[in-house]
Structure 1
Amino acid sequence: MSLNQTSSQIAEDPTSTKTAQCTVMCMYQAHIGGYWRTVTALWTKNMMNHSLNIFVDSVDSDQRQNCKIDLKPWHFWGKKSYKTFEVDGLQIDVYWDLRSARFSGSPEPCSDFYVALVCDEEVVLLIGDLKKKVYKRTKSRPGEANAILFFKKEHVFGKKSFTTRAKFDKHRKDYEIVVESSTLGPKDPEMWISIDGIVLIHVRNLQWKFRGNQTVLVNKQPIEVLWDVHAWLFLSPGSSHGLFIFKPGQPSPENDKEENSQDGSEGSDNSSVSKYYSTYGSPKTSQCCLFLYAWKIE
């Protein structure tokens, strides 16, 4: 499944505030059992529940297997545990430790946690920042191919301000993204989009510019930002959402050349290419596209 196909399928979201809950969906490409597979981590939270669902795609069919982890506050015993499930005959062990996890208003922790997928004594996907604890607990080695986060979608709720985090490039840190707006009152509606505390986009007269796009530079990397906040201005509160898309620009030719040389596509035939860089289902990008759904509540 390509990034464009994935984005188009997920961009249309039927959620409304009647059924909505805070959700964060992260999609990774992980090398499992000789193939690149899509692994989806879905964090959800509402008044009653807090959970993580992990889905792993099959390469033999359109099906995918999943593992659910309940993170309810009264289930402290379940915040460090493991589960096992199978995909295409492969045993996948899921280990997690969220006892000390820190949250910043999102269902997804921001630090002091780990969720790890292990297959054939390899850590094929590691989410979180406690790497040393993962390898010590699982007694497994790092995977020969690093998993790649390529798509993130988040639903957030607020009155004037919406905050999320994003890693646009696997080599860089998480960035804090804040969308602020002023749509009520005697003044013309305005909107500000800042990354790591720096306002990069300021839209005045939002009633005329409720849809638009602009390219900004973040640590010398071009990021295309697209927005559609028609619902904020012309629909009843909570009936729909504003949509923001953050799409990294194309990597430089030097990076392309370096990646091509790593995947064995130059100077070798197919028979000599390592299975970890096989062309079948291999990831096309190391950059992450963010879809932010911002629901205004009054």
Structure 2
Amino acid sequence: MSFQYPLRNFSMGASLSSTPEKIPDDFLTSTTPQNTVTCVYRAYVAGYWRNLTVFWCKNHSNHTLNLIITNLEGEVCYNCRVDLKPWFFWSKKGSKSFELGGCQVDLHWDFRSAKFSGSPEPASDYYVAVVSDEEIVLLLGDYKKKACKRANARPPLVEAILYLKKEHVYHKKTFSTRAKFDEKKHEHDIIVESSTRGPRDPEMWISIDGIIMIHVRNLQWKFRGNQTVMLSRQPVQVSWDVHDWLFTAPWHRPWLVHVQTRGFGIGR
């Protein structure tokens, strides 16, 4: 299953379509089923707005975090990998320093107490911090005070904006995630469920905050579609493509659910 929701558009010379998320090469060439979470942020790093792709990946033998920094034209400026399932002589806490545009940038992380709930991305008790000019320009996780102390840096003057999140999950008929469609509002619970067995025709349900917003019957005929629903007086567009999941071989059965809201411009 593939689930993605663009959260923001920008007015800084590049759009979502012109700056797609960057994926590590080893994932693209791998034949092993992998659960992944891709988050793309826009942050002010080393004097410029840049895209930061945070790629969480887990399979039967590896569990990794990849950080890929690109300019707004999509050119890769920096790429590194952190193992969340390291060998016994490696630590789940660490840091790296690198140069970007003549400026030093630091990456700090701590996964020693991280808790997971079925996703490659930790649910709690961790931090990942990117520091530029003594400022934390990207801060992930709930250990914010520990991150600031470890990095010896001030909180961001302008917080990084998450504008795309994509999740790939294998071998599940029910998928759940959380998404924030407005920076000023709370996260929403999103659940996608399907039924393909039994006497009834295939069906799919998409729920937000426990309320079924979309129910697709006769999925074998309506395997592609879109619908706009209202969430807290805000229009949310939901589209889906489950053709390959229904009609291809079991090993290659991806399907896509896409949720988005209207974007807006930002500046600094």
Which TM-score band (shorter chain)? 0.7 to 0.9
Q: Name the amino acid aligned to 1:231.
A: D
* Aligned pair partner of 1:5 in 14, 18, 23: 18
Counterpart position of 2:133: 120
- 1:134-180 deviations in Å (ceiling 9; x for gaps): 11222211222211011111111134212223222222333222111
Matches within 5 A, 1:76-155: 78-155=91-168
- The alignment partner of 2:91 has SS state of helix
Question: Contact (CA 8 Å) 2:18, 2:73: kept in 1 or not?
Answer: no
Matches within 5 A, 1:29-68: 29-58=42-71, 62-68=75-81
Q: Name the amino acid aligned to 2:160.
A: A
Q: Name the amino acid aligned to 1:171.
A: K
Q: Name the amino acid aligned to 1:94.
A: L
Counterpart position of 1:212: 225
- 1:171-191 deviations in Å (ceiling 9; x for gaps): 233322211111122111111
Matches within 5 A, 1:128-277: 128-250=141-263, 263=267, 277=268
Q: Name the amino acid aligned to 1:201.
A: I
Question: Contact (CA 8 Å) 1:149, 1:170: kept in 2 or not?
Answer: no
- 1:246-288 deviations in Å (ceiling 9; x for gaps): 111356xxxx7xx6xxx4xxxxxxxxxxxxx1xxxxxxxxxxx
The Cα of 1:16 is off from its aligned counterpart by 9.4
Q: TM-score, normalised by structure 2?
A: 0.85
Question: Contact (CA 8 Å) 1:67, 1:83: kept in 2 or not?
Answer: no
Q: Name the amino acid aligned to 1:100.
A: S
Q: Name the amino acid aligned to 2:163.
A: F
The 3 A distance-change label for structure 1 pair 245 and 2 is same
The Cα of 1:61 is off from its aligned counterpart by 8.8
Counterpart position of 1:268: none
Question: Contact (CA 8 Å) 1:101, 1:113: kept in 2 or not?
Answer: yes
- Aligned CA RMSD, in angstroms, stands at 2.6
- The alignment partner of 2:95 has SS state of strand
Question: Contact (CA 8 Å) 1:16, 1:238: kept in 2 or not?
Answer: no
Q: TM-score, normalised by structure 1?
A: 0.77
- The alignment partner of 1:158 has SS state of coil
The 3 A distance-change label for structure 1 pair 192 and 51 is same
The 3 A distance-change label for structure 1 pair 102 and 61 is closer
Question: Contact (CA 8 Å) 1:70, 1:78: kept in 2 or not?
Answer: no
The Cα of 1:214 is off from its aligned counterpart by 0.9
The percent of aligned pairs where both chains have the same amino acid is 54
The Cα of 1:107 is off from its aligned counterpart by 0.5
- The alignment partner of 1:20 has SS state of coil
Question: Contact (CA 8 Å) 1:56, 1:64: kept in 2 or not?
Answer: yes
Distance 2:22 2:139 in 1: 26
Question: Contact (CA 8 Å) 1:67, 1:85: kept in 2 or not?
Answer: no
How many correspondences in the alignment?
A: 252
- 1:18-58 deviations in Å (ceiling 9; x for gaps): 33311111110010122110111111110110010111124
Distance 2:185 2:108 in 1: 25
Farther-moved stretch of structure 1 (19-28 vs 216-225) = 216-225
Q: Name the amino acid aligned to 1:127.
A: L
- The alignment partner of 1:152 has SS state of strand
Q: Extract unaligned runs of 5+ from structure 1.
A: 264-276, 278-298
The 3 A distance-change label for structure 1 pair 71 and 110 is same
Distance 1:240 1:30 in 2: 35
The Cα of 1:4 is off from its aligned counterpart by 2.3
Question: Contact (CA 8 Å) 1:56, 1:87: kept in 2 or not?
Answer: no
Question: Contact (CA 8 Å) 2:33, 2:170: kept in 1 or not?
Answer: no
Question: Contact (CA 8 Å) 2:128, 2:141: kept in 1 or not?
Answer: yes
Bigger radius of gyration among the two? 1
- 1:194-215 deviations in Å (ceiling 9; x for gaps): 1222211111111111111111
Question: Contact (CA 8 Å) 2:92, 2:110: kept in 1 or not?
Answer: yes
Distance 1:189 1:61 in 2: 40
